[in-house]
């Protein structure tokens, strides 16, 4: 947007850029949850909804808390590349652990809740169904 409005014939040159919400977000961005995550996501995240270089479909918004280091990573590959140690899996009985972070709304879900549904219990956003295919990487 070009803002040139001569006020009374005097051109006011405003050099301080007006900071406003970026309009460069993809059009499929959900508009009500745009927030920078308050959790530190490690690994190769490529956006602030926890998509990574390995998984970056529209629904690849989960980050996982790894029990070995209690750090958040977007996926197993991210952990493997960056953590410097072998990943541990959550043991059986850890269902109450809030180890799943929704990148859309930045809220956590317990493992049990996550495994019982395929949408975020907070914002209702869908998770990638395909994650179930490699649940063994994360859960015992
Ligand atoms: Zn780890
Ligand atoms: Zn990854
Ligand atoms: Zn959510």
Least distant ligand from the CA of 126: 3
Tell me the CA–centroid distance for residue 24 and ligand 1, in Å. Answer: 34
Tell me the CA–centroid distance for residue 86 and ligand 1, in Å. Answer: 7
- Calculate mean pLDDT across residues 30-39: 47
Question: Sorting pLDDT into bands at 50, 70 and 90, what band is 139?
Answer: very high
Which pLDDT score is estimated for 31? 34
Which pLDDT score is estimated for 1? 54
Which pLDDT score is estimated for 32? 31
- Output 95 or 36, whichever has higher pLDDT: 95
What tokens appear for 11 in the block? 């051109």
Ion ligand 2 — residues with CB under 5 Å?
52, 54, 74-75, 77-78
- What does the pLDDT look like over 41-92, one tens digit per residue? 999 989 989 999 999 999 999 999 999 999 999 999 999 999 999 999 999 9
- What does the pLDDT look like over 91-127, one tens digit per residue? 999 999 999 999 999 999 999 999 998 899 999 999 9
H, E, C per residue of the chain: CCCCCCECCECCCCCCCCCCCCCCCCCCCCHHHCCCCCCCECCCECCCCCCECCCCCCCCCEEEEECCCCEEECCHHHHHHHCCCCCCCECCCCCCCCCEEECCCCEEECHHHHHHCCECCCCCCECCHHHHHHHHHCEC
C-alpha dihedral, 41 to 46 to 52 to 57, nearest 10°: 130
- What does the pLDDT look like over 3-17, one tens digit per residue? 555 555 444 455 555
Which pLDDT score is estimated for 90? 97
């Amino acid at each position: 947007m070009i803002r040139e409005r001569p006020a009374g014939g005097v051109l006011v040159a405003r050099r301080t850029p007006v900071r406003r919400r970026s309009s460069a977000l993809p059009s499929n961005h959900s508009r009500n949850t745009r927030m920078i995550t308050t959790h530190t996501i490690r690994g190769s995240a490529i956006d602030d909804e926890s998509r990574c270089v390995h998984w970056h479909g529209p629904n690849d918004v989960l980050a996982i808390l790894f029990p070995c280091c209690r750090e958040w990573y977007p996926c197993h590959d991210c952990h493997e590349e960056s953590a410097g140690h072998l990943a541990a899996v959550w043991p059986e009985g850890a269902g109450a652990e809030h180890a799943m972070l929704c990148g859309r709304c930045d809220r956590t879900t317990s493992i049990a809740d996550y495994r019982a549904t395929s949408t975020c219990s907070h914002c209702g956003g869908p998770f990638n169904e395909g994650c179930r295919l490699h649940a063994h990487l994360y859960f015992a």
